């Protein structure tokens, strides 16, 4: 990576503002954290700073409070979980800017940790407000971005703050950029990319950018309906992005020109609704009933995709193969997820809901790399510059 990291600056005894992505999933009833992967992903950076007696001040958002204080989205439970993992106390502040935050930051001792309150309780954060960014910057001496998952946002805590403090990358951000960058620059072949999820539109740039680099593209999930429609198939009541059909057809032609295999499902599971009480059945793609929708890939498609993946030496996966949160529509996603650890390949999962599936199935430590960024990984692989990365200091 061509950006400076925490290795390149003296952080001993300094107040180091670390932007982390601790936007963890929480149980809506109990408020308990259901997956702490994002917290654990930043441990190498946090521990490195603590070992060098830095004063570590963590900045994060949680959920979508839309610029207002939402009690259920306070970061105190996250601080408690971090304290449990580290085996040391983590102080909290009742706000992320202003007198209370400044007092808490000033009181922090070397080797201590402070977690500021949810950045998005302030509307200025998502607006990239300069005054808010300056208020954050007053709390520290050095800024570290370790939040790849939000680096595609030009928010005050991501790019705005870098105008007022020396700004470098943390170890997680460095690993994300190097790993995903390696997919674009020097993947081991055969390189197979597996895409699912609901929409084609949010993956168009990535598909275009990666097309000439992959040997095979496997398409499942709700987005398969748009590609099948582009090929003239009946897709029933499946969600189709009508304005993307011509683009989908163009992507398939581009794959053919580049010599990449572009594989769509040959059979799918269909149901009359997306509901836990719905019953699915598998049909050929040329026999999809007009009153039903695609909810998963079929058994023949699972076998087809498995055969392709077994030939690979590099695999990138983004997006589930069906409506994974409903057990009877999760077979395709789970079958391919469980295959990944057994492949003789580098396996990279592109964040978001796919990462959650891998974690839920207990497979995260059996995958080469699980990205912490859903939208950020899509934009990065789509060739877009990420504001939170661009703003960091370049290596000399």
- Catalytic residues, by residue number, are 38, 199, 352, 375
Nearest to 218 by CA among 288, 294, 318, 299: 318
Alpha-carbon gap, residue 149 to 152, rounded angstroms: 7
Token pair, residue 9, equals 């600056």
- The vertex-372 CA angle with 322 and 70, nearest 5°, equals 90
Residue 183: which of 310, 299, 315 has the closest Cα? 315
Task: Supply the DSSP symbol for 187.
Answer: P
Q: In what order do the strands lie in the sheet with 369-370?
A: 261-263, 216-219, 191-195, 314-318, 346-349, 369-370
Q: Are 168 and 161 in contact (CB under 8 A)?
A: no
Distance CA 132, CA 143 (A): 15
Closest to 194 (Cα-Cα) out of 330, 340, 293? 340
Which pair of tokens denotes residue 354?
A: 């796919």
Phi, psi at residue 33, to the nearest 5°?
-70, 125
Q: Which of 161, 109, 114 is nearest to 138 (CA)?
A: 161
Contact 85, 149 (CB under 8 A): no
Question: CA–CA separation, 239 vs 161, rounded Å?
Answer: 40
Q: What is the distance between the terminal CA atoms of the chain, rounded to a whole angstrom?
A: 12
- Count CB-CB contacts under 10 A for residue 71: 7
**Which DSSP category does 370 fall into?**
E
Report the run of H or E that residue 86 belongs to, with start and end: helix 76-86
Both tokens of 263, joined, read 């594989």
How far apart CA 207 and CA 247 sit, in angstroms, is: 11
């Amino acid at each position: 990576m061509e950006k400076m990291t925490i290795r390149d600056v003296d952080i001993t005894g300094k107040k180091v503002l670390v932007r982390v992505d601790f936007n963890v999933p929480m149980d809506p009833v109990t408020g308990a954290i259901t997956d702490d992967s994002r917290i654990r992903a930043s441990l190498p950076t946090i521990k490195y700073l603590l070992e060098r007696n830095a004063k570590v001040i963590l900045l994060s958002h949680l959920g979508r409070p839309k610029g207002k204080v939402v009690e259920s989205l306070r970061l105190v439970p996250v601080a408690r979980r971090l304290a449990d993992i580290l085996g040391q106390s983590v102080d909290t502040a009742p706000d992320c800017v202003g007198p209370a935050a400044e007092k808490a930051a000033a009181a922090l001792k070397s080797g201590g940790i402070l977690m500021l309150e949810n950045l998005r309780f302030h509307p200025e954060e998502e607006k990239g407000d300069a005054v808010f960014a300056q208020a954050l910057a007053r709390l520290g001496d050095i800024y570290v971005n370790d939040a790849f998952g939000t680096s595609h946002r030009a928010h005050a805590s991501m790019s705005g703050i870098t105008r007022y403090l020396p700004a470098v990358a943390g170890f997680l951000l460095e690993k994300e950029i190097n790993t995903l960058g390696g997919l674009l620059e020097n993947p081991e072949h055969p390189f197979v990319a597996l895409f699912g999820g609901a929409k084609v539109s949010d993956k168009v740039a990535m598909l275009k950018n990666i097309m000439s680099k992959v040997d095979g593209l496997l398409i499942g999930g709700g987005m398969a309906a748009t590609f099948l429609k582009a090929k003239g198939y009946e897709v029933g009541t499946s969600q189709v992005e009508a304005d993307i059909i011509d683009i989908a057809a163009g992507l398939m032609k581009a794959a053919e020109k580049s010599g990449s295999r572009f594989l769509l499902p040959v059979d799918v599971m269909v149901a009359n609704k997306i509901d836990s009480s719905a019953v699915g059945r598998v049909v050929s793609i040329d026999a999809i009933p007009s009153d039903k929708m695609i909810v998963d890939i079929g058994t023949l498609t699972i076998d087809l995709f498995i055969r392709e993946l077994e030939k690979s030496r590099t695999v990138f996966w983004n997006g589930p193969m069906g409506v994974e949160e409903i057990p009877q529509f999760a077979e395709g996603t789970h079958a391919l997820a469980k295959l990944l650890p057994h492949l003789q390949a580098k396996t990279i999962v592109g964040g978001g809901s796919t990462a959650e599936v891998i974690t839920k199935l207990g497979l995260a430590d059996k995958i080469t790399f699980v990205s912490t960024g859903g939208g950020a990984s899509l934009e990065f692989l789509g060739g877009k510059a990420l504001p939170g990365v661009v703003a960091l200091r370049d290596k000399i």
